[in-house]
């Protein structure tokens, strides 16, 4: 099943969710690691990988968003009304952070004079002038954004686990590979 239904996510939503989650978790771990490494070839390789992956996520976000709004959202009717509202706001927050993090990183690097390379070869500068102050400003957004994203993702994972292990509903199963019977 490629498309979502009212009871479960389709393969395209699942592939986008898991490929982007793994990349974003990798980006956050790489980001917090690379800034603490001593100057070395490895440090700059991680920087380069972080930027290329971040740009790829930036290009995937609109595709995911268009796919999301063109699809039925699986029902949240098994949850109390308050939790349904919370789940929707949680999803909006994750989409917003997913969109803003790569943009702030892209602006920061371009303003610093180190525009990222797309897929390791094509220089892709943001439409923004070189300026230390601008780079520092976007650097601040990127830093605080990374912490907010980390907290949001940890909360998201915690709630997915709670639905599965405590509430025994199908919220986690319907995002996992394979189909549900109902």
Binding part of the chain for ligand HEM, among 31-39, 45-53, 93-101, 127-135 by CB under 6 A, reads 93-101
Question: What minimum distance in Å lies between the beta carbon of 175 and ligand HEM?
Answer: 4
Q: How far apart are CA 86 and CA 156, in angstroms?
A: 11
Determine the size of the site formed for ligand HEM (CB under 6 A): 21
Per CB under 6 A, 17 contacts ligand HEM: yes
Binding part of the chain for ligand HEM, among 21-29, 42-50, 55-63, 138-146 by CB under 6 A, reads 21-29
| Structure tokens given for 18 | 């898991």
Is the CB of 50 or the CB of 174 nearer to ligand HEM? Answer: 174
User: DSSP class of residue 172?
Assistant: T
Is the CB of 29 or the CB of 122 nearer to ligand HEM? Answer: 29
From residue 55, alpha-carbon distances to 48, 99, 114 in Å are 11, 11, 14
From residue 57, alpha-carbon distances to 21, 25, 42, 72, 180 in Å are 10, 12, 22, 23, 29
User: CA angle at residue 104 from 101 to 108, to 5 degrees?
Assistant: 140
Per CB under 6 A, 160 contacts ligand HEM: yes
CA nearest 160: which of 150, 141, 173, 149? 173
Asked whether the CA dihedral 147, 153, 156, 161 is positive or negative, the reply is: negative
Mark residues 46-85: x for contact with ligand HEM by CB under 6 A, - for none.
----------------------x----xx-x---------
Binding part of the chain for ligand HEM, among 19-27, 34-42, 104-112, 121-129 by CB under 6 A, reads 19-27
Question: What minimum distance in Å lies between the beta carbon of 50 and ligand HEM?
Answer: 15
Q: How far apart are CA 25 and CA 145, in angstroms?
A: 13
Q: Which of 34, 83, 172, 179 binds ligand HEM (CB under 6 A)?
A: 172
Binding site for ligand HEM (CB under 6 A): 17, 21, 24-25, 68, 73-74, 76, 87, 91, 94-95, 98, 153, 156-157, 160, 171-172, 174-175
């Amino acid at each position: 099943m490629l498309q979502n239904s009212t009871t479960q996510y389709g393969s395209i939503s699942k592939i986008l969710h898991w490929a982007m989650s793994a990349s974003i978790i990798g980006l956050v771990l790489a980001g917090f690691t690379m800034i603490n490494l001593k100057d070395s070839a490895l440090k700059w390789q991680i920087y380069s990988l972080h930027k290329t992956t971040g740009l790829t996520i930036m290009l995937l976000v609109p595709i995911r968003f268009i796919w999301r709004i063109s699809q039925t959202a699986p029902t949240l009717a098994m949850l109390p009304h308050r939790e349904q509202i919370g789940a929707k706001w949680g999803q909006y927050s994750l989409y917003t952070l997913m969109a803003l993090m790569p943009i702030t990183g892209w602006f920061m690097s371009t303003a610093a004079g180190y525009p990222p390379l797309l897929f390791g070869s094509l220089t892709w500068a943001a439409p923004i002038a070189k300026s230390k102050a601008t780079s520092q400003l976007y650097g601040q957004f990127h830093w605080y954004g990374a912490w907010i994203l980390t907290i949001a993702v940890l909360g998201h994972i915690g709630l997915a686990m709670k639905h599965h292990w405590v509430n025994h509903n199908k919220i986690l199963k319907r995002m996992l590979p394979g189909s549900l019977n109902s």
